[in-house]
Structure 1
């Protein structure tokens, strides 16, 4: 048996089986389907994989990818699997019989699977038009299953009985109301929790029964605020959490309605409400795999995360933060707390066995699915449709926050780990081997390089201190070379000095001081040799010239200045217009500055596009053209 963790990814018309760390590759023998896949899942014990096709359900070997057999049942929309994988149940769209009676065909089927013999057997069928509450529930040993016969009755059946269609016993709550939800417990001593919402002024009920005694509940609670209920048993089946919610908050404080949390034990020793000390909705609840504690995230953002023991006594509370998800690792050593959905995706990993000390933190934005791997070392986060129809992908992280693998999809509808028992993997210890860095897959390396390039560089490793430009960050104490802007400024200054050398000393001194007055970052000023700027009085006189000054006088004056500039050997710049050669030099210098920036990025290891690499290769050609125009870097 393979000990490599495995995941499946469901796309619109495809399912893919992927072996996770350390190989990160598709299962070679698995043939991807070509028709639409509506649902897919591993068995709870990981011995087979099932996905739907228009013609029926395909059962495959998850290790080799080989197709074992096909269950002939067209148009399956949902299916469920019993705890040991022996029974498979399916729900199809209800259809009427092809006769004049107007009756409906049975749309729920229960099959007994023989994986070794590669065959199946239909053992029961019934009609359930609703997509909610149709799924039968099995005990941990699969000897009994139950289903909702009508809105007020739950019937129990023996799986090994020859008369499997005949109910073994039933729970009828017609006198109390309609059953909104129910949950059969795991463990050796099965129990049943039932929720009946309040109606017409009557209170809501939660009752817990011990099988097969359904006459008297072992624990119960009644209250007036309750429309829906979510049950969650611990792994041993000894205690159950009931999250009761209403759609509307009577105090108008919350858009999400009201929620209360109750704790029940199967011995009847306690049934109590869990008092939470901050107003707001309950975002998430979860049991520890040890069944000895549970955690609750509650309150308006920033929310509070509190841990309780099995009897509802507070153990530990984290500081407030933007969190709405909490997950224990399979071995209960690590705890993941994160904020997904409309939050930013910040994730923290805590060490439960070391006083909730933080192990790592990372960011998994736009996550809609998050699960621990069976070995408790890796975390899978995925962005799925229809929650988000963009950036659909699956990511695998190491528990220290390292991104190990990423696979992107146009549309991703489902993803999950294949179950494997903890005994398949070596235990996690505090040794150096468990804390060492893991080598990411090439997909993660390329993704991080692209992300760093888009964001303008990786700032996560910044150590503070004074700002240093990119070209000086990896140079140590070496003195950085002059930039092209400085070289160009010096070149322009030398041209001004040479062009003004033929003028008288007073004009040269004034022009030199005038040229040095420049705005930081602006191009050097160009002064026409021989032209003396006006003082304040002259400017005032010029501003008050008479209106009868003719345009011919202005044109002749401009022409005379230009002629003087050419005769003195200066650059011909009239009205801010450069000569053709200077324009070309400026454009080439602009290209050279751009190439220099790209070379700095390349030296820092940043990701460059193909066009940017080609641009760097044109540097010799640009410099050769500059030299042909008379420009040298030393001038």
Structure 2
């Protein structure tokens, strides 16, 4: 039996519609759509139900044939979500008070989808973590209330079955999968005490030995916690709003690892700068981090937090594993140009490179073969639209939003795991009417002070590092320097000469040509004829070379001394001085 074709929900100012996924990408015939603008849309976890609010009511239908399941008179609903088994619909609207009711109305409501009756009305003023978290079998449900975690069992929201109370619990994440359920809890530091994350297994929530793991750290205004799919470990990205050293506009981030076995670690990242994204592989044994000042590094780590493969550096700030885990997309969205690098994770070989300019969202189709990129409002209010791609770089379908209209969201219909098995990775673009959109090479940015100075041989402001396989015994475990490569060629030539002499041929083979010399950051000007000027130029270049070496040491993690930092800060002044000297020749 052929697997189903996932649907794609499209929400915008012109209404809500459902498309059948690739290859047809046509309107879903069983769903007529809604011409009114929708506040929100969502699918159930297994994809069988589709719900939306159009500002008049909340509607829930079967995704397969569009038949109505339930309708709720909730015109102000801003967010909605289904419980994992589709038994409960959670709706949320902005909290408000009235003169008649000082406490205000319960703005978080839980509805029984079978009967359409209200199960429980709750108060949830903050939109962050508005929806309760269920275990996969719905035996446990958790929500945060006044620095406590309240646990409910079997969707009985009239009785709190258990509580986890800690001072100032700020965030929590319930583990995926079945029983036993685990929960990761974050408590921010105060009065000089560090922040910490602890792991618990329900229902053991108190006592000196209750915590499965505990990790303390400083420099954390907020955290993002991610469980792996098998619920054996958690990644915690801690961040501060401001980097006190002034090195980064993004604040300062650190990455930590906790396992349910009790092991913890701070993940050591070999390049300084922001941590843009962290993603678990679906195999739960690896994770990918994108980090460092641009061009950013991307590295895959194992459960010992050791690097396994380094993708080098490039213009990227996001990582997306396919649902089957066999493909990884490294992308640069937002203030970058939308480059998407597609990698075969098993072979660590690049499949394709495409560009989705101005994309504000990216998501994998459950089939592991296709992705959708979109330019949505309010992030960008012009050039709204979306594209459905094959991972080899071909665009199968694209839709531009008409002038005067806005696209707000595109969302794939989820499918149960196992519906789409992993397929062999293709390295050639699939046939398509719209063709391939491989990223075209662009001229590197040059600072204004250097634009009328001849370009260096590389033509790049920052050299990008090549990929590097760090697995034990992998070929090319360490990249050879140019000097080492030259010496290696000489050794090979001498070995060949000895072999020829042993055969009676006394004429040795010629040495291979030396690698072309690498251009300096400034091209060598001709002599000015003025010895004093030439001496000044040589002196300035010597200082710039020293600064370049200091910057490389800083990028490798070395802490520079005060006088060295002062030298680095004089780089622009020296470049201007060099420019003036060369122009005056």
Distance 1:155 1:305 in 2: 38
The answer for the alignment partner of 1:266 in structure 2 is 260
> 5+ residue gaps in structure 2?
441-585
CA contact (8 A) 1:50 1:57 kept: yes
1:245 aligns with 2:236: no
Distance across 2 between alignment mates of 1:266 and 1:380: 35
CA distance in 1, matches of 2:356, 2:264: 38
CA contact (8 A) 2:11 2:37 kept: no
Query: In structure 2, what is the Cα distance between the partners aligned to 1:394 and 1:330?
Result: 21
Q: State how far apart, in whole Å, the 2-side matches of 1:245 and 1:364 are.
A: 29
Q: Aligned partners of 1:213 and 1:399: how far apart in 2?
A: 44
Root-mean-square deviation (CA), in Å?
2.1
Aligned counterpart, 1:154: 149
CA distance in structure 2 between the aligned counterparts of 1:361 and 1:291, rounded to whole angstroms: 26
Residue correspondence of structure 1 range 553-592 to structure 2 within 5 A:
none
Counterpart Cα distance in 2 of 1:181 and 1:155: 13
Deviation per CA, 1:207-226, whole angstroms, max 9, x where unpaired? Answer: 11111111132211222211
- Secondary structure of the structure 2 residue equivalent to 1:347: strand
Please give the alpha-carbon distance, in whole angstroms, between the structure 1 residues aligned to 2:125 and 2:418: 42
In the other structure, the counterpart of 1:77 is 78
- 1:91 corresponds to which residue? 92
Is 1:391 matched with 2:383? yes
Instruction: Indicate conservation of the 8 Å contact 2:279/2:287, yes or no.
Output: yes
For residues 123-156 of structure 1, give each alpha carbon's deviation from its aligned partner in whole angstroms, at most 9, with x where no partner exists.
1111122222322111121111011121x11110
The CA distance in 2 between the partners of 1:35 and 1:403, in whole Å, is: 29
Secondary structure class of the residue paired with 2:104: coil
SS of 1:182's equivalent in the other structure is: strand
| 1:219-618 equivalences in 2 (<5 Å) | 219-268=213-262, 270-354=263-347, 356-409=348-401, 410-421=405-416, 423-425=418-420, 427-429=422-424, 437-440=429-432, 444=434
Residue 436 of structure 1, CA deviation? 6.1
1:180 counterpart residue number: 170
TM-aligned CA deviation for residue 194 of structure 1: 1.2
Relative to structure 1, is the Cα distance of residues 439 and 400 closer, same or farther in structure 2, using a 3 angstrom cutoff? Answer: same
Q: CA deviation at 1:181?
A: 1.4
Normalising by structure 1, we get a TM-score of 0.65
Q: Is the 8 A contact 1:326 1:337 kept in 2?
A: yes
Which has more helix, going by share of residues? 1
**Aligned counterpart, 1:102:** 102
Distance (Å, rounded) in 1 between the aligned partners of 2:38 and 2:387: 22
Determine the structure 2 residue equivalent to 1:53.
54
Tell me what 2:445 maps to.
none
Partners in 2 of 1:53 and 1:329 — Cα distance? 32
Which residue does 1:522 correspond to in 2? none
Q: Assess if the C-alpha contact under 8 Å between 2:215 and 2:258 holds in 1.
A: no
Distance in 1 between the 2:333 and 2:28 partners? 30
Whether 1:210 aligns to 2:206 is no
The CA distance in 2 between the partners of 1:20 and 1:221, in whole Å, is 43
1:8 is displaced (CA, Å) by 0.6
Paired position in structure 2 for 1:29: 30
8 Å CA contact 1:53, 1:75 repeated in 2: no
The equivalent residue for 2:10 is 9
Structure of higher CA gyration radius:
1
The question of whether the paired residues in 1 share the 8 Å contact of 2:290 and 2:299 is answered with yes
Judge conservation of contact 2:233–2:259 (CA < 8 Å) in 1: yes
Secondary structure of the residue aligned to 2:183 is strand
Q: Contact 2:368 / 2:422 at 8 angstroms: preserved in 1? A: no
Aligned counterparts of 2:318 and 2:352: Cα–Cα separation in 1: 16
Separation in 2, partners of 1:437, 1:293 = 28
Tell whether the 8 Å contact from 2:366 to 2:415 is kept in structure 1 after alignment: yes
| 2:477 aligned residue | none
Give the stretch that moved more between structures: 53-62 or 230-239.
53-62
Which whole-Å CA distance do the structure 2 matches of 1:275 and 1:437 have between them? 37
> How far is 1:61 from its partner?
1.8
Instruction: Say if 1:327 and 1:335, in contact at 8 Å, map to a contact too.
Output: yes
Please say if residues 2 and 63 of structure 1, whose CA atoms lie closer than 8 Å, have aligned partners that are also in contact. no
Residues 371 and 184 (structure 1), Cα distance of their counterparts in 2 relative to 1, 3 Å cut = same
Cα contact 2:151–2:161 (8 A) shared by 1: yes
CA shift digits 1:474-526 (9 cap, x unpaired): xxxxxxxxxxxxxxxxxxxxxxxxxxxxxxxxxxxxxxxxxxxxxxxxxxxxx
Whether contact under 8 Å (1:134, 1:148) holds in the other structure is no
Do 2:16 and 2:35's aligned partners in 1 also have CA atoms closer than 8 Å? no
Moved more, 122-131 or 223-232: 122-131
Cα distance in 2 for partners of 1:59, 1:440 equals 35
> SS of the counterpart of 1:413?
strand
Q: Separation in 2 of the partners of 1:338 and 1:271?
A: 29
For the residues of structure 2 that align with 1:226 and 1:154, how far apart are their CA atoms? Answer: 21
For residues 420 and 78 of structure 2, what CA distance do their matches in structure 1 show? 35
Match of 1:603 in 2: none
Partner Cα separation in structure 1 for residue 138 and residue 14 of structure 2: 33
* Post-superposition CA distance 1:37-78 (Å, at most 9, x none): 111011111011111122331112222233332123231011
Report the Cα offset of residue 5 of structure 1. Answer: 2.3
8 Å CA contact retained: 2:377, 2:406: yes
